[in-house]
Every structure is written in structure tokens, then in C-alpha cells.
Amino acid sequence: MRVVLGVPDLFLPKAWRCEGLAKIEFLNVTKTRSIDGEMRSVLDDVSVAVEEGTILAIGGPSGAGKSTMLRLANRLESATSGRVLLDGVDISTIDPVRLRRKVGMVFQLPSLFPLTIQENLTYGPELRGVEPSSLHDKVREMLDMVDLPDLSPGRQAGELSVGQQQRVAIARTLMNEPEVLLMDEPTSALDPATAKSILELVCDIRSRYGITVLFVSHSLEHSRLVGDRFLLIVDGKVVEESDIEAFFRGPQTELGRKFLAGELK
Ligand SMILES: Nc1ncnc2c1ncn2[C@@H]1O[C@H](COP(=O)(O)OP(=O)(O)OP(=O)(O)O)[C@@H](O)[C@H]1O
Ligand SMILES: [Mg+2]
């Protein structure tokens, strides 16, 4: 689709260029915080564009600003300067509740409500006025999707193992049919086998629904298994952004090489 006929692409603002439009984009994003009474940039002029259906693995030392990036992407926090765009639209203009349905978040530790699995899954849709009885098939579909086909939706969420809770938390997020999934160390509280199965699940979700995923992890192995692209942040700055295999074969920067060698604290 071309919005203005006769005007070369070059002269159209990016938001009007539909081909190649990023699903989510950080444009010169800076976030400053008061830390120990001193204002510090925890994100410094971060620009990165993520194409639709891409899994962007985000790595970097502790305190680099990875979680802050995710929190800016669904307005849990706002940028000090710069913009975050969803489909070319500045998210500061989107109602936060509506935005968080489109941009779902999964945390390190599953944070389910002390309710049944069914109630956890229908909570979001019910808030938007969807009749719970109409959600039965959707709940089943989502439990199948997260590989919990035998789980009774009437069970209390608190009875489940942490790995099962993480799957239910992902299913609950998927009930909102998000277009972007923010995952902040979703595998770090899990044993290796369960963690691998969650990584497979992330890939399945992307394949089935075409969701764009921002996946933060301290595990290089997990990032490589799941990611299409890799973003390395150090001290709030983008150091590398590349195809994931290209990064693992040969980082372009000294910091990238140090990170891969485990030498960055
Ligand atoms: N609520 C807060 N108030 C003040 N400073 C904060 C807050 N949250 C994070 N920070 C600081 O912002 C910086 C970036 O933190 P962030 O949580 O984004 O790092 P991270 O890369 O996710 O680290 P980790 O890998 O340890 O989770 C750090 O210096 C941190 O101490
Ligand atoms: Mg973090």
C-alpha cells in the first residue's frame, strides 16, 4: 500500500512506509533515573527496529538496562526522551490497557492469581466484557498450545509446579492475543529440561501466531536456541545488533567478544 501516490519512498515519513515497517521500534530512546541521588542514563540513545515475527534475544551484563527496555515497551515506564513505536505508532499515544493487551509480558517468576487455572486465563478477556462461558474452547486451545492438554482448568494455580505455572502464565498472556511478547528471563527459574521445553514453546508460539518476541536472558545458550537476532546492551548502550548466528560466530566489537567470552561483569 502506498499512501501518497507519486512521492518517492525516500520522502515519506517512515510510519507511512508499510513495506519493511518494524513491528516494534525504539528510536533514540534514553531513560534516566535517580540512582543514589544522582541522575544516570540507564538507557542511552537506544535505537533498534524489530521486524514482525522476529525473536530478538537481548543480552548484556546485570544492570545493563535490559528489563528497562522491556518495561518501556508496554508503558510500565516511560522514556525520558526518544520514542517507542508499535506498527509505526508512538506508544505514548496508545491507552496503556489497550497497549498491554497487544504487548504482553511474561516474567522470570510466574505471577498467577490465587485462583483456578480457568479463572487466571479468563481474567483478561472478562475485564474487556467477554462472556466467560464463551471462552471455554479458547482456554482449552491455550492449554493445548502450552502443552498442558491434560490439566483440568478447575485446579488451583498454586498447586502447579513452577514450570507448569510458567506455561499457564504464558497461556494467560496469549488469551489476550498479543502481537508482541516481552519475556524477561522466563527460563531462569526453571530446571534445564523445563527451560528447554519453554524455549520450544516460545518458538511454537511464534510459528503459530507470528508474534514478535523480545526475549531477555542471561543464558547465551538459551538466546542462541530461541533468537533470530541478538541485541547486546552494555551500560545502557546498544553495542551490537545482528543476526544471532553471525554474533555467535564473530562479534563485531571488542565488548561483544568479551561478553561472549564471559568476561563482562
Ligand atoms: N526501580 C528502580 N529504581 C531505581 N533504579 C533502578 C530501578 N530499576 C532498575 N534500576 C537501575 O537501572 C539500571 C538498569 O536496570 P535493569 O533492571 O534494566 O537492568 P537489567 O539489564 O535488566 O539487569 P539484570 O540482568 O540484573 O536483570 C540498573 O542500574 C538498576 O540498578
Ligand atoms: Mg533485568
- Any idea which ligand is nearest the CA of 71? 1
Q: What is the pLDDT of residues 100-123, one digit of tens each?
A: 999 999 988 888 999 999 999 999
Mean pLDDT of 51-58: 97
For residue 192, report the distance from its CA to the centre of ligand 1, in Å: 26
Q: Is the per-residue pLDDT at 2 higher than 80?
A: no
- Any idea which ligand is nearest the CA of 46? 1
- Ligand 1 pocket (Cβ < 6 Å) reads 33, 35, 42, 60, 62-68
**Residue-level pLDDT at 1:** 35
Q: Is the per-residue pLDDT at 262 higher than 90?
A: yes
| Atom 25, ligand 1: residue with shortest CA distance | 62
CA angle in degrees (0–180, nearest 5) for 220-221-223: 65
For residue 61, report the distance from its CA to the centre of ligand 2, in Å: 9
For residue 138, report the distance from its CA to the centre of ligand 2, in Å: 32
**Residue-level pLDDT at 83:** 98
- Any idea which ligand is nearest the CA of 65? 1
| Atom 16, ligand 1: residue with shortest CA distance | 65
Q: Is the per-residue pLDDT at 34 higher than 60?
A: yes
**Residue-level pLDDT at 110:** 85
Q: 26 and 47 in contact (C-beta within 8 Å)?
A: yes
Q: Which ligand 1 atom minimizes the distance to the CA of 43?
A: 14
Class of the domain covering 9-260: alpha beta
For residue 62, report the distance from its CA to the centre of ligand 2, in Å: 7
Q: 66 and 216 in contact (C-beta within 8 Å)?
A: yes
Q: What is the pLDDT of residues 154-166, one digit of tens each?
A: 999 999 999 999 9
